[in-house]
Amino acid sequence: MSRTALRICPLCEATCGLSLTIEGTRVTGARGDADDVFSQGFICPKGAAFGELDADPDRLTGPLVRRDGVLREAGWAEAFDLIAARMRPIVEEHGPNAVGVVLGNPNVHTMAGALYPPALLQALRTRNLFTASTLDQMPKHVSSGLLFGDPFAIPVPDLDRTSHLLLLGANPLESNGSLCTAPDFPGKLRALRRRGGTLTVVDPRRTRTAKLADRHIAIRPGTDALLLASIAQVLFEEKLTAPGETEPHLEGLAQVADAVKEFTPERVGPRCDMDPDTIRALARELAAAPTAAVYGRIGSSTVEHGTLANWLIDVLNILTGNLDRPGGALFPLSATDRTPRPAGPGKGFALGRWHSRVSGHPEVKSELPLAALAEEIETPGEGRIRALITSAANPVLSAPDGDRLDRALAGLDFMVSVDPYLNETSLHADVVLPPPPPSQSAHFDFAFNGFAVRDQVRYTRPAVPLADGRMDECEIHARLVLAVSGLHGAAPDAVDAMVVERTLSQAVADPHSPVHGRDAAALAAELTGASGPERRLDLMLRLGPYGDGFGADPDGLTLERVLAHPHGIDLGPLKPRLAQVLRTRSGRIELLPAPIAADLPRLRAALDQPAASLVLVGRRHLRSNNSWLHNIPALSGGSNRCTLQIHPEDAARLGLVDGADVRVTADGGAVTAPVEITDSVRRGVVSLPHGWGHSRPGSRLAVAAERPGVNVNQLLDGSRLDPLSGTAVLNGFPVELTPLA
């Protein structure tokens, strides 16, 4: 007897609704949920492999605890007892910064990862926080923080209504989109073209996305900021700027005009390897389009001028009047956002409130660069990281110089990993706490609903009951918080109750809250939900912008109401709301913030730098997901391989043969990979994907180990960073190739 259950897919930012077929407790099939209000049946091969991924025999079934140097299966009580016994003394003896925390990408895809790390960090009070953001989107947070006063105020391209999309360094046909949550991104791009709109793709590779475009520009890697500055220069020079409705909210317009003056198409063109006339054409098309959006991701973020590029993307949206208007780039309003406050000045966004101990990197959003983790563990002295907690993170593969980090992790006094696998990173842990497979977890997208192209809300409860011996990931995190804060043994619900109490006491004291003046304890008693995390979800929904406000709006959202709509509730297209968003000190968009102005000379200097003859970029594959899906047979193999792609002319010049091994060397190290000759990469550029290198002894990834690939991040030593955001330069760094016999 089989049944079906709904489950939002946790595997990428598109958040598709899946309909799972379940036999007993086993997921035997996954289809797109045709009735899902947001994804309407869309699914990709990763979602379709949900059952296989859920049942991967290499997933850990219970905690592992290291005794006498060997990781062995243990009970949950033993695991948490050890954490409590080892962590507190380290903090007491060496201070809070002796414990580092690493949060990886899948935290953004779990309820536990959204709800508990803040409490963990509060309990630890460490300044040594590292996340995948500094390998990814931190430049966007910095530019939004500086422009709008809120690092999470990230405008999203209005894919369904725009008539012109300028897309840089993103490949949504493989990635399914990022910082732009849009199930069926490919279909939305096709629809844009069908309704007469235009798509321009800027990417050194002729990707599947580029093939869909009206115009593909194979830019020289690392030069997007120059191109964007030049487009801005043309807009000013040709008097094509028209900020429209945002104009009254702007300050610094004339200063920006002045700042981009030097970046003429004639000066920038040769650096980007573009015809100056093409740059002018891009500027004119952008200005002429009835509506348009400029959107960039990894290829314009994990690069030398990542923050400047991300700043310029929004500067262009603003200059052309497309920020905050339908068809342009708008700020989503998710159901668990705080209720918008009245417009007015805010606290602003500060960078560098403290610095990393060894290299003096500025703090950004309370984080330090993940690329600096190894040195913070290895370098002796006060404040050295002696213990580490990782959750859903595999920095040995995803961050620069995994070999060094591997050695550093081996030298820690104590390490805890919350991870379903024993992999390249977790193999160093003293305690591994495995979450249950996704079918046994509830799902709500706290993060991605805030980047979605349509406001909507969906929640799915576990599709399969928690198996014997399993612990829900929320409970794992709650117990971890208790274990490190000296409350070991308390009921995990205590963490949720604490957060509920704090949130409600703030809300009742807030004159703008719908519950202003009411009794916090009485409101807490009204919360529904079968668990601590569900009560917190209920609380956030009810206090949120569409919420019932505990009775203030009887038609508003509650958990019960969301549960009554298993395919989700549509909350409509994105709406202009700039004034609600702005939190700068001036209360306006600060178009040329001081840290940006201070970084511009570096971009001007780049105008005169000679281009490297060969640079490396990454790539993603539809059936891959960073470092952790290579163990799923249905998703590995075929075209999903760790090869070095190179243009036929470069291959001929260097004497490289398709399929033969080549040695790739960069300033941080060297790796050997098979050559794949293809004209989909431009001349002067090679491409190697990340997340590979599954050959470390001690990991338990049988399928991945059969085809381990190599770790591209071994080419980097962690010293190449975008200075404003601390983000590693993972794209556009120089390499040399040596053919191997």
Ligand X SMILES: Nc1nc2c(c(=O)[nH]1)N[C@H]1C(S)=C(S)[C@@H](COP(=O)(O)OP(=O)(O)OC[C@H]3O[C@@H](n4cnc5c(=O)[nH]c(N)nc54)[C@H](O)[C@@H]3O)O[C@H]1N2
382 by Cβ neighbours in 10 Å (0-12 / 13-18 / 19+) ranks as exposed
- How far CA 8 is from CA of 32, 111, 438, in Å, comes to 10, 12, 10
- The 32-51 site mask, x for binding ligand SF4 (CB under 6 A), equals -----------xx-xx----
Q: If 0-12 CB within 10 Å is exposed, 13-18 middle and 19+ buried, where does residue 653 land?
A: middle
Restricting to residues 106-135, name those near ligand X by CB under 6 A.
Answer: 106, 110, 132, 135
Nearest to 331 by CA among 562, 557, 169, 151: 151
88: left (phi over 0), alpha (psi -120 to 50) or beta: alpha
How many whole angstroms from its chain centre is CA 238? 37
What are the C-alpha distances in Å from 299 to residues 165, 202, 218, 739? 16, 9, 12, 27
Residues 314 and 617: their CA atoms lie apart, in Å, by 24
Which residue, 241 or 640, is less far from ligand X as judged by CB?
640
Strand segments (E) across 517-637: 569-573, 589-590, 615-617
Of 133-141, 321-329, 551-559, 579-587: span binding Mo ion (CB under 5 A) = 133-141
Query: Using CA atoms, how far apart are residues 573 and 396, in angstroms rounded to an integer?
Result: 40
Nearest distance, CB of residue 7 and ligand SF4, angstroms: 10
- Which of 51, 222, 306, 532 binds ligand X (CB under 6 A)? It is 222
DSSP one-letter string for 4-52:
EEEEE--SSTT--EEEEEEETTEEEEEEE-TT-TTTTT---HHHHTHHH
Distant-in-sequence, close-in-space partners of 379: CB < 8 Å, separation ≥ 6: 357, 358
x-marked contacts with ligand X along 20-59 as a string, rule CB under 6 A = ----------------------------------------
d(Cα 688, Cα 735) in Å, to the nearest integer?
11
Pick between residue 149 and residue 151 the one whose CB is nearest to ligand X.
151
Least distance CB 620 / ligand SF4 (angstroms): 12
The residue nearest ligand SF4 at its CB is 47
Q: 90 or 463: whose CB is closer to ligand SF4?
A: 463
Minimum distance, C-beta of residue 47 to ligand X, in the bound complex (Å): 11
Query: Does 202 sit near ligand X (CB under 6 A)?
Result: yes
Binding string, residues 15-34; x marks residues near ligand SF4 by CB under 6 A? xx------------------
The pair of structure tokens assigned to 158 is 């209005």
Among 105, 110, 137, 176, binds ligand SF4 (CB under 6 A): 176
From the centroid of its chain, how far is CA 73?
32
Q: Which residue in the set 142, 168, 313, 330 belongs to the binding site for ligand X (CB under 6 A)?
A: 168
Q: 298 Cβ partners below 8 Å, 6+ apart?
A: 136, 169, 170, 175, 178, 618, 730, 731
Binding status of residue 12 toward ligand SF4 by CB under 6 A? yes
What CA–CA distance (Å, rounded) separates 558 from 564?
Answer: 10
Residue with tokens 């690092």: 151
Q: How far is the CB of 175 from Mo ion (least distance, A)?
A: 9
How far apart CA 331 and CA 675 sit, in angstroms, is 43
Distance of closest approach, residue 136 Cβ to Mo ion, in angstroms? 4
**To the nearest whole angstrom, how small is the minimum distance from the Cβ of residue 416 to Mo ion?**
23
Asked if 136 touches Mo ion (CB under 5 A), the answer is yes
Name which position in 306, 435, 669, 709 contacts ligand X (CB under 6 A): 435
Q: Give the nearest distance from C-beta 492 to ligand X in angstroms.
A: 16
* Residue 617 in the binding site for ligand X (CB under 6 A): yes
**225 forms part of the interface with ligand SF4 (CB under 6 A):** no
Identify which of residues 253 and 396 has a Cβ nearer to ligand X in the complex: 396
492: which DSSP letter? T
Kindly tell me which residue out of 731, 733, 735, 737 binds ligand X, with binding defined by CB under 6 A.
Answer: 731
Q: Give CA–CA dist 690/710, Å, rounded.
A: 8
Nearest-approach distance from CB 39 to ligand SF4, in angstroms: 7
Establish if 688 lies at the interface with ligand SF4 (CB under 6 A): no
- Examine residue 423 and tell whether it contacts ligand X (CB under 6 A): yes
Least CB distance from residue 197 to Mo ion, whole Å?
Answer: 27
**Any contact of residue 100 with ligand X (CB under 6 A)?**
no
Nearest to 687 by CA among 697, 678, 696, 700: 678
13 binds Mo ion (CB under 5 A): no
Contact 240, 202 (CB under 8 A): no
Q: In angstroms, what is the minimal distance from the CB of 448 to ligand SF4?
A: 9
Site for ligand X in 625-644 (CB under 6 A): 625-628
The answer to whether 453 contacts ligand SF4 (rule: CB under 6 A) is no
174 binds, options ligand X, Mo ion, ligand SF4, none, Cβ within 5 to 8 A by partner type: ligand X
Q: Is 141 in the site for ligand X (CB under 6 A)?
A: no
The angle at the Cα of 476, spanning 486 to 80, to the nearest 5 degrees, equals 45
Hey, what are 714's tokens? 């071994």
CB nearer ligand SF4, residue 32 or residue 383: 32
Q: For the CB of residue 429, give the shortest distance to ligand X in the complex, in Å.
A: 11
For residue 272, give Cα distances in angstroms to 223, 614, 729.
Answer: 6, 14, 17
Query: How many residues in the shown chain lie near ligand SF4 by CB under 6 A?
Result: 12
> Contact at 8 Å (CB) between 229 and 260?
yes
Q: Is 203 in the site for Mo ion (CB under 5 A)?
A: no
170 touches ligand X (CB under 6 A): yes
Among positions 537-596, residues that touch ligand X (CB under 6 A) are: none
- Report how far apart, in Å, the C-alpha atoms of 349 and of each of 33, 85, 187, 232, 335 are: 40, 38, 37, 25, 24
Residue numbers at the binding site for ligand X (CB under 6 A): 12-13, 104-106, 110, 132, 135-136, 168-172, 174-176, 178, 202-205, 207, 219, 221-222, 224, 297-300, 303, 391-395, 398, 418-421, 423, 435, 473, 617-622, 624-628, 690-691, 712-713, 730-732
Residues that bind ligand SF4 (CB under 6 A): 9, 11-12, 14-16, 43-44, 46-47, 176, 183
Question: Can you give the binding site for Mo ion, defined by CB under 5 A?
Answer: 136
